[in-house]
């Protein structure tokens, strides 16, 4: 069972707040979780996390998502550089394929 530390969204419409939970890597965000280790309110930028439980879970193999990792780095719970949370995928240009078709 591969565990991950991730956000579970709670709150009202247009007023998000998140619980920081330990969950299976492939399970849904809104499903059951193994352990609740903190919370985060993005509108007021405040959060609370149980540092000992986070370090224990990381030590036992749980991997934080990129967003949770950046939050933990900012809170100085763990050390490291921030990761890009949104990965930009560049589309391959189709010009080389068109040139090969014209040359043939």
Partners of 3 in the β-ladder: 24
Q: How many domains does the chain fold into? A: 1
Range of the domain at 68: 1-104
Binned at pLDDT 50, 70 and 90, residue 49 comes out as: very high
Q: What pLDDT digit, counting tens, does each position of 21-40 carry?
A: 998 888 776 677 888 999 99
Phi first, then psi: what are they for 67, rounded to 5°? -65, -45
Q: For 11-72, give the secondary structure using H, E and C.
A: EECCEEEEEEEEEECCCCCCCCCCEEEEEEECCCCEEEECHHHHHHHHHCCCEECHHHHHHH
Residue 56: give its domain's CATH number: 3.30.1320.10
Q: Is the pLDDT of residue 60 over 90?
A: yes
Q: What pLDDT digit, counting tens, does each position of 71-90 carry?
A: 999 998 988 888 887 777 77
């Amino acid at each position: 069972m591969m565990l991950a530390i991730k956000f579970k969204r709670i709150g009202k419409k247009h007023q998000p707040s998140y619980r920081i939970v330990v969950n299976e890597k492939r399970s849904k965000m809104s499903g059951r979780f193994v352990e609740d280790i903190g919370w985060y309110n993005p509108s007021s930028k405040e959060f609370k996390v149980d540092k000992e439980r986070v370090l224990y879970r990381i030590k036992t193999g749980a991997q934080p998502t990129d967003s949770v990792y950046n939050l933990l780095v900012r809170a100085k719970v763990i050390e490291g550089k921030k990761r890009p949370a949104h990965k930009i995928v560049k589309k391959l240009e189709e010009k080389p394929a068109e040139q090969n078709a014209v040359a043939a």
